Structure 1
Amino acid sequence: MLTMEDIIRDGHPTLRSVAEEVPFPTPEEDKEILREMLEYLKNSQNPEVSSKYGLRAGIGLAAPQINVSKRMIAIHSPDENGTLHSYMIVNPKIVSHSVERAYLTSGEGCLSVDEDIPGFVPRYARITVKATDLEGNELKLRLKGIMSIVLQHEIDHLNGVMFYDHIDKKDPFKAPENAVALER
């Protein structure tokens, strides 16, 4: 079972490097890592389990955050309508995105960043992502709003980018142009 000790923190070199593609078919070891990542997210959202094991709640986790430099992501979160999105995906690529932007009014947080870094993080309001699942089936995910933001945050981890890299350093709370403000 993954715990907070398994999650590397800001400043670790793996968080700033580009993760490697996962070969096809997905090796069993990588599938197991992804299952553990999703299990962490589910456990972190369960008040009893998170309290018992001291887990910080998370809705997305990229393999580089557990010091595995591979292009793998787990997500477990409801969208604005309460629909649960639970994914274990390999080699995700954004293949199209909206011109319109979106940002969370509360800003973004990260399991690898212990301090609160205030500011708006501009993201695409809608994205289409191609990836594969654990069985090697190609997926095409069309996401908007919160889920679009979550997946972009995690894909950034695969490219060595942290959420705060997107915050305007001179004016952190400047609303991005052509952007929808989302509450979380």
Structure 2
Amino acid sequence: MLTMNDIVRDGHPTLRKRAKDVSLPPSDEDKQILNSLMEYVQNSQDEEMATKYNLRPGIGLAAPQINVPKKMMAIHVTDETGKLYSYALFNPRIVSHSVQRAYLTTGEGCLSVDEAIPGYVPRYFKITVKGTTIDNEEVQLKLKGLVAIVFQHEIDHLNGIMFYDHINKVDPYAVPVNAVAIER
């Protein structure tokens, strides 16, 4: 089981590398890694498990964050209506996005970044993601709002991009043009 000790921190070289595609169908080893990513995010949201294993709560985790430079990520988050989005994907990619932007009013955080970094992170309000499940099925997901932001954050990890790279360096709280403010 993954713990906070398995998560590499900001400054680790793997976080800035472009991850490699996972060969499909996935190997047993790759399936095990993907399962461990999902297990972490689910367990980290369970108060008892998080306390027992000293897990920092997270809603998404990408393989580069555990020093595995491969395109794998897990998301376990509920949207503003309470609907659960729980996906573990190989080779996820954004195939289309809205012109309209969105940002979290609280800013973003990351399991690989220990300190809070203030500022708004502009993202797309709506995205369509394609990826492959652990059972080697291709899925296409139409996402919006918070869930779209979480997917973009994790897909950025697969491309060596950190959330704070998007923050306006001159005015961190500059509201992105044509953006929806999302409360979290």
The letter of the residue matching 2:10 is D
Return the offset for 1:112. Answer: 0.1
1:159 aligns with 2:164: no
Long gaps (5+) in structure 1: none
Q: Work out the number of aligned pairs and report it.
A: 184
Give the match's secondary structure for 1:153: helix
| Structure 1 segments (4+ residues) deviating >6 Å | none
Aligned twin of 2:128: 128
Cα offset, 1:39, TM superposition: 0.7
Deviation (angstroms), 1:125: 0.1
Query: Aligned ranges for residues 134-173 of structure 1 at < 5 Å?
Result: 134-173=134-173
- Map 1:14-163; keep pairs closer than 5 Å: 14-163=14-163
Cα deviation code 1:101-156 (max 9, x no counterpart): 00000000000000000000000000001111111111001000000000000000
Unaligned ranges ≥5, structure 2:
none
CA distance in 2, matches of 1:56, 1:171: 29
User: How far apart are the structure 1 equivalents of 2:22 and 2:178?
Assistant: 35
Find the aligned partners of 1:168 and 1:36 in 2 and give their Cα distance.
34
Q: Tell me the distance in 1 between the aligned counterparts of 2:157 and 2:142.
A: 20
C-alpha displacement of 1:77:
0.7
DSSP-derived class of the 1:157 partner: helix
- Distance (whole Å) between structure 2 residues aligned to residue 150 and residue 7 of structure 1: 18
Distance 1:81 1:31 in 2: 31
Q: Report the secondary structure of 1:88's partner residue.
A: strand
1:49 shift after superposition: 0.9
Identical-pair percentage? 65
Whole-angstrom CA distance in 2 between matches of 1:58 and 1:122: 20
1:52 Cα deviation from its structure 2 partner:
1.2
**Cα distance in 1, alignment partners of residues 52 and 134 from structure 2:** 30
Q: How far apart are residue 10 of structure 1 and its match?
A: 0.1
C-alpha distance in 2 between matches for 1:49 and 1:130: 31
Under a length normalisation based on structure 1, what TM-score does the superposition of the two structures give? 0.99
